[in-house]
């Protein structure tokens, strides 16, 4: 039996296209608009709804089968946002929501004072909100890379589940960063013209 080579040069004869994360190569969208002033976005994939279970009778030295649940729970996006003067950290994402032609205007407000206002507004929409992570690989002649099609992960039925508006300001504090948690029910990968 021939063993596969562990030489990474045998993977492909094409130029390597290893992914870069920041500097404009990745963008996060809410209802098709960029989530502005995000310092970082963390993603926790959906986890199984139950732990795996090994089927191992008393007379067996090894398990006969591993059972896994055929379902997963919600996924989570953790967004770190720079706070702007005269603006709550959620104002931009709620402005995108209220200005979107794809959602109804029931419960829209000029000012959202707290998380309860946001919960009520998003619940009144009546249909799922889609957020997207779009990855823009470098094109030929742009940032020195070969042409690779861009792709997106679309997060469906999103709901803001927490916003940490806490803060501690000290004399040396330069920027103020707030945390927003968004959960979604399922994710779908799309490529090129499908991802916007």
Of the pLDDT bands very low, low, confident and very high (cuts 50, 70, 90), residue 23 is low
Residue 127 reports pLDDT greater than 90 = no
Q: Do 187 and 96 meet the contact criterion of CB atoms below 8 Å apart?
A: no
Return the percentage of the chain with pLDDT > 70, whole number: 79
- Residue 158: which residues within 8 A CB-CB, separation 6 or more? 30, 77, 128, 129, 130, 131, 182, 183, 184
Question: Would you list the domain boundaries of the chain?
Answer: 27-42+74-194
- For position 43, what pLDDT does the model report? 93
Structure tokens at 46: 């959906």
Mean pLDDT taken over the chain: 83
Poorest-confidence range of 19-23, 67-71, 152-156?
A: 19-23
Q: Which residue has the higher pLDDT, 135 or 137?
A: 135
Segment 161-191, tens digit of pLDDT: 999 988 888 898 888 899 999 999 999 999 8
Residues 153, 77, 127, 96, CA torsion sign: negative
Dist. CA 40–CA 86, nearest whole Å:
22
Dist. CA 141–CA 156, nearest whole Å:
34
Q: Which residue has the higher pLDDT, 24 or 121?
A: 121
**pTM greater than 0.85:** no
Q: Do 39 and 81 meet the contact criterion of CB atoms below 8 Å apart?
A: yes
């Amino acid at each position: 039996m021939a063993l596969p080579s562990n030489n990474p040069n045998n993977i492909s004869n094409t130029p390597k296209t290893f992914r870069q994360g920041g500097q404009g190569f990745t963008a996060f969208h809410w209802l098709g608009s960029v989530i502005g002033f995000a310092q970082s976005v963390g993603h926790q994939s959906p986890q199984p709804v139950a732990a795996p279970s090994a089927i191992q009778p008393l007379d067996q030295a090894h398990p006969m089968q591993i059972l896994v649940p055929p379902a997963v729970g919600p996924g989570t996006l953790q967004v770190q946002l720079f706070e702007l003067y005269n603006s709550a950290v959620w104002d931009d994402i709620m402005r995108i929501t209220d200005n979107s032609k794809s959602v109804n205007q029931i419960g829209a407000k000029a000012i959202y004072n707290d998380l309860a206002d946001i919960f009520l507004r998003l619940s009144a929409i009546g249909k799922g909100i889609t957020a997207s992570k779009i990855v823009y690989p470098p094109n030929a002649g742009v940032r020195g890379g070969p042409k690779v099609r861009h792709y997106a992960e679309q997060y469906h039925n999103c709901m803001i589940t927490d916003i940490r508006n806490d803060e501690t300001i000290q004399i040396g504090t330069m920027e103020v960063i707030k945390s927003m948690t968004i959960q979604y029910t399922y994710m779908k990968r799309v490529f090129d013209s499908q991802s916007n």
